[in-house]
């Protein structure tokens, strides 16, 4: 259970940045309910798929070695995890505080469900820091011999965080919608700090497994 709980902060890395900002912008859409749901659904598919790929890749690598070679396989996977984490830190740092949003964000106020689903799928599945994070979660759980379903709480928490803007508007109406621009601006300025702290913690934990 400790391995499960320690992976949950990775959910913050998944949504910090354009992922949550996109969810905020979707609430300004007249079809915000269906579009927000489609966005989260697309994210659910891609996150689960990437985590599963990482999990079974590591599980296959472990099973390919004999009993005496298991420790070497585990060390190799942990080295791969460390490289992925360092790459994610570099990527997050390089993108910090970008003032100009991507051009596609302007489409979110008029996006349909298909566009929203595709955006959720691509942004949470193929955005470099999210791709690395999801792979790392799958690799780590398989390396520690945990069952596949341990991925699900991480996926669920990520989706809950991604749903917070829509849930806020659903609960508070226009008052909630008025609050979200401040949240968006804070995320745009400071989300990279949160991500770097979480990633650094996992770098330290991974190094401890290697020494």
Q: What pLDDT digit, counting tens, does each position of 33-90 carry?
A: 999 999 999 999 999 999 999 999 888 877 766 555 557 767 788 888 888 889 888 8
In the chain, alpha helices (H): 2-7, 10-15, 18-26, 32-63, 70-94, 113-126, 128-143, 151-172, 174-210
CA distances (Å), origin 75, targets 70, 120, 198:
9, 33, 22
Q: What is the mean pLDDT of residues 27-34?
A: 88
Residue 38 near residue 120, CB atoms below 8 Å: yes
For 49, the token pair is: 């798929």
């Amino acid at each position: 259970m400790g391995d499960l709980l320690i992976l949950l902060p990775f959910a913050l890395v998944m949504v910090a940045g354009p992922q949550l900002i996109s969810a905020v912008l979707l609430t300004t859409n007249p079809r915000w309910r269906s579009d927000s749901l489609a966005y989260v659904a697309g994210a659910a598919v891609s996150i689960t798929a990437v985590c599963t790929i990482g999990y079974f890749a590591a599980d296959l690598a472990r099973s390919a070695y004999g009993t005496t070679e298991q420790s070497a396989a585990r060390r190799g996977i942990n080295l791969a995890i460390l490289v992925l984490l360092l790459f994610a830190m570099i990527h997050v740092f390089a993108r910090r505080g970008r003032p100009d949003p991507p051009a596609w964000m302007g489409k979110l106020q008029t996006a349909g469900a298909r566009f929203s689903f595709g955006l959720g799928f691509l942004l949470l599945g193929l955005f470099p820091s999210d791709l690395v994070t999801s792979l790392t979660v799958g690799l780590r759980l398989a390396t520690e011999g945990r069952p596949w379903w341990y991925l699900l709480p991480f996926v669920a928490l990520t989706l809950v965080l991604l749903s917070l803007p829509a849930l806020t508007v659903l609960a508070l109406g226009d008052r909630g919608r008025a609050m979200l621009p401040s949240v968006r601006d804070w995320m745009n300025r400071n989300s990279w700090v949160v991500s770097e702290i979480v990633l650094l913690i996992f770098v330290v934990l991974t190094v401890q497994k290697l020494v």
